[in-house]
Amino acid sequence: MSYTALYRKFRPSEFQDVKGQDHIVTTLKNQILADRIGHAYLFCGTRGTGKTTIAKIFAKAVNCEQPKDGSPCGKCASCKAIAAGSSMNVIEIDAASNNGVDHIREIREEVSYSPAEGKYKVYIIDEVHMLTPGAYNALLKTLEEPPSYVIFILATTEAHKIPITIASRCQRYDFRRITTETIAARLKELMEQEQVEVEERALTYVAKMGDGSMRDALSLLDQCIAFHLGQKLTYDHVLEILGTADIEVFGDFYRKICCQDLAGLIRDLEGILLKGRELSQFIVDFIWYLRNLLMLKSDPGMADMLDVSGEHLARMKEEAELTDMDTLMRYIRVFSELSGQLRYATQKRVTAEIALIRLCRPQMEQNYDAVLHRIALLEQRMEEGVPAAPASLTGVSAPSDGICADRKPEKISPEALPEDIQNFLSRFQELRKKVSPWFQMVLKGAQCRELPEHTGVQIVLCKNHPVDETELAAEIEQMVLREMNLRLKIQISIPGEDERAGEPVIDLSGFIDMKIDIDEN
């Protein structure tokens, strides 16, 4: 026997099986119970939300010989015939391929004949927005005054394309996107019936990827089960099959954007593509990740609304402090534009790389967001005591000789004395806030100790951050020079390495007094 896809196998056959559309189901059931059935209905909503399914259930219910609480019994001859697709009382029409005037004229001729069995003839016209203007005109009169035994159900994903003359003659029902929780609960129920072992986290992610469509979620789950047939379907398996990235990947990607690490971003992008991940989906998921960071930045109380673990939530809170809200919203706008461009781009990778360059080089843009970002960078450099922005920010080339005629001679700062080193150690928590935001986080929880012979300070990081020790040490030395007017040697140690303070090399040449004989044989 051939395999039946999950979305077909578990298509609801009764109103009680429909999930996420209670407002529509209740209204239709009440109409059936009160015998207040309309002659024309317009079902609007995104794909996979149950428009055709509810239309078929409604067609069975109005013709059922023994309805139960407004739902079809599923056992009478009429219900079985409609379920099998052999009933002459239910006519399904695909308007995408049958959209001409002649097809509608055939309907006008058929409605004059009463049903051979049952109470109503039900016409379900799917994708009705695809009808031609002539077909709409041909349908208009029949739709306005059909025979008492005829019901029209028009289904569409683009309600704005329906002529007002048609829509005004129908009862309109708007189908909502199904929530992630509702889809996940339905998937879990079906997997128990199929006796397939699946992680609940994996089902939640598949439900999220369904984007409000039960049919899409079932199709994605079907694909994942087929790839790992006979195995437990895990969260990692779902990520692998659906071509999506984990939250840690997003975090690393975001940190590189904040550090303006363009080379690292390009390498990460290449790695994502080499792993077979879908670039468009990665961008969509990353926008959602940025949105979550923006929520945390706006109000920490929104943490309960984010569907992430406690460990990831703590990491996201740290990342939310790496930049300000204006810059974060600029990131979201740039990636949202990129998402739209990727739909029609022939060179998706190049388009994505250009967007990354825009993020890391705000001086290339002239829009409001980029100007704000550039001002923020300049303000940060001024706070750090940099007299002028580098050429990469201002776009103005520096003099080739590097000398200005009216430049004042720089004041030479003295070497730090033991008292100065102790002062630095006592003020470390205050002074670490004077460096760049990324290095502020890296230095959080770090321990300081004096190097032997009062030669400087060793800083031992609390975590193994991906950081350049030389660059970090140089920035701290510059900060000390700026804040304390002292030259202080800084040594950075990474956890897991030898964290003992480096001993100075002692010159023993003055103590060596021995004659060395050289044998020339």
The answer to whether residue 469 scores a pLDDT higher than 90 is: no
Compute the chain's Rg from CA coordinates.
35
User: How much is the pLDDT for 378?
Assistant: 66
Mean per-residue pLDDT, 450-469 = 80
* Cα torsion 317, 322, 326, 331: sign: negative
Where, residue-wise, is CATH 1.20.272.10 in the chain? Answer: 247-369
This prediction has a pTM of: 0.58
Give the contacts of 219 (CB within 8 A, at least 6 positions apart).
5, 6, 7
Q: What is the predicted pLDDT for the residue at 439?
A: 81
Report the candidate in 494, 477, 503, 467 with the shortest Cα–Cα distance to residue 424.
Answer: 477
In this predicted structure, the answer to whether residue 519 has a pLDDT above a threshold of 80 is no
Facing residues of 68 across strands? 71
CA dist 22 and 405 (Å) reads 79
Q: Is the pLDDT of residue 281 over 90?
A: no
pLDDT for residue 517 = 58
pLDDT value, residue 410: 44
In this predicted model, what pLDDT tens digit does every residue of 230-240 receive, in sequence order? Answer: 888 888 788 77
Residue 56 has pLDDT above 60, yes or no: yes
Q: Which of 295-299, 412-416, 462-466, 499-503 has the lowest mean pLDDT?
A: 499-503
Mean pLDDT, all residues of the chain: 80
**CA 424 – CA 418 distance, rounded (Å):** 10
Instruction: Identify the band that residue 175 occupies on the pLDDT scale cut at 50, 70 and 90.
Output: very high
The share of the chain scoring above pLDDT 90, in percent, equals 12
CA 394 – CA 338 distance, rounded (Å): 26
Q: What stretch(es) of the chain map to CATH 1.10.8.60?
A: 180-242
Assigned fold of 180-242: Helicase, Ruva Protein; domain 3 (1.10.8)
Fold of 6-174: Rossmann fold (3.40.50)
> Residue 325: which H helix or E strand, with range?
helix 325-342
Mapped onto helix, strand or coil, the DSSP state of residue 198 is strand
Task: Find the distance separating the first CA and the last CA of the chain, reported in whole Å.
Answer: 95
Q: How far is CA 377 from CA 41, 263, 324, 362, 370, in A?
A: 58, 20, 11, 10, 11
pLDDT tier, 152 (very low <50, low <70, confident <90, very high otherwise): very high
**What does the pLDDT look like over 71-80, one tens digit per residue?**
888 888 888 8
Query: Under CATH, to which class is 247-369 assigned?
Result: mainly alpha
pLDDT at 408 over 70: no
pLDDT score at 44? 93
- CATH of region 418-493, choose from 3.40.50.920, 3.10.420.10, 3.60.40.10, 3.30.300.180: 3.30.300.180
What confidence category does residue 393 fall into, taking pLDDT thresholds of 50, 70 and 90?
A: very low
Return residue ranges of the chain for CATH 3.40.50.300.
Answer: 6-174
